[in-house]
Amino acid sequence: MIRSGCSRPSWSSQSNRCRRRWSVGAGPSDLLAGLLDHAATLFARLTVALAAVHAVPVTEIRDALTVDLNLARGTLELRRGLLRHTLYLEELTHRLAADWLTYRHRRWPASLNPHLLVSQKTALDPDLPAVNRNSLRIGLPDGLTLEKLRQDRILDEAFATGDPLKLMRLFGITDVTAMRYVGAAYPERTAKLPR
């Protein structure tokens, strides 16, 4: 198991004394570096980066399309029904996405599957399915899920900023969800609000 630098392993610690920083744009933290080292494939590394750095939900990782990745602009548009949420890729995720696309085009040059992430089964499937949820778990330590990584990333940002508007803009979450994360990070700020 990868240690977070605390006296105990912690993936979603609620305590201020045991928080770690996930700084988008800066180099990866020790925890993120350990997760990326544990992920053996480009597929797994990109999946971990999308969940742990950008807090992308599992269903949106599965449903992301290749045409929505713009490496020249450094963006990935996520489709949320009729809405779109634009991720601005920092250097690490940008490099992983570029490496994944290169690998994907070399490995399956005839693939017509529009999804960004494909597996050996889905790349050449004429039905063009998204990858299976279980294939996204490959490369994660036991007991850790992409959803836990996502939640921990949002909670860490809530600890760092305490600003629900920033959470909404950065992760594309609703105001109610953003307030829940800020309330979990700073319960003293929301204790007196009417419920």
Q: What is the pTM of this model?
A: 0.82
Residue 6: DSSP 8-state: S
Query: What's the pLDDT score for residue 10?
Result: 35
Three-point CA angle 25, 185, 2, nearest 5°? 60
Query: What's the pLDDT score for residue 193?
Result: 60
Query: What's the pLDDT score for residue 194?
Result: 64
Residues 6 or more apart whose CB falls under 8 angstroms from that of 38 comprise 2, 139, 140, 141
Per-10-residue mean pLDDT, the chain, length 195 = 32 36 49 87 95 95 96 96 93 97 96 95 93 89 92 94 94 95 88 64
